[in-house]
Amino acid sequence: MGFTLVSFLAGLVFGLGLLISGMANPEKVLGFLDLAGLWDPSLALVMVGAIAVGVIAFRIAGLRRLTLLGLEFRLPTKTDIDKRLVVGSVVFGAGWGLAGFCPGPALVAMGAGEQKAVVFVVAMLAGMALFELLEKRRVAN
């Protein structure tokens, strides 16, 4: 199976999982994040399942030198928690809490015709472009 087909199938499974679990529904996500109101804990099960799959997959990946497609693994090596990581996490979480979307589910919701997702994705792309501009300036100095 070619890399493109495997990538397509992985993306399809991921997108379907987001739709079926409700992660692409901003109202459901905001209900999960509303700890002081009518909290909806159902997405916690989705997250626990995703973490379990991730832990198993990273354990297996750590034992291998090549992927199933014969490509070299490129796993992160940086483990320190620095200011950039913390600030980025806070900004990501604030955006998720305000909009009810994070990048993957926003793309899925946009594909499903959700108008709010279009606005979110445009704002996300603008934020990414701004980051790249600021990062180039930081590296140049």
Dig out the tokens for 114 from the structure.
Answer: 């959700």
Q: What is the pLDDT of residue 120?
A: 92
Neighbours of 131 (CB within 10 A): 12
User: Nearest 5°: CA angle at 131, between 72 and 103?
Assistant: 65
Q: What is the pLDDT of residue 51?
A: 95
Q: What is the pLDDT of residue 89?
A: 92
- Residues 42/32, Cβ–Cβ less than 8 Å: yes
Query: Tokens 């704002």 correspond to what residue?
Result: 123
pLDDT tens for the chain, 141 residues long, are 688 898 899 999 988 988 888 888 888 888 888 888 888 888 888 889 989 999 999 898 888 888 888 888 887 888 899 999 999 999 988 888 888 888 888 998 898 888 999 999 999 999 999 999 999 999 998
The residue count for the chain = 141
Domain count, the chain: 1
Residue range(s) defining the domain that contains residue 79: 3-140
Q: What is the pLDDT of residue 80?
A: 92
Q: What is the pLDDT of residue 48?
A: 93
Among 54, 41, 42, 44, smallest CA distance to 14 is for 54
pTM: 0.73
Distance CA 33, CA 31 (A): 5
Q: What is the pLDDT of residue 1?
A: 62
14: exposed, middle or buried (Cβ count in 10 Å: 0-12, 13-18, 19+):
middle
Q: What is the pLDDT of residue 37?
A: 87
Q: What is the pLDDT of residue 87?
A: 93
- Residues 133/52, Cβ–Cβ less than 8 Å: no
Neighbours of 86 (CB within 10 A): 10
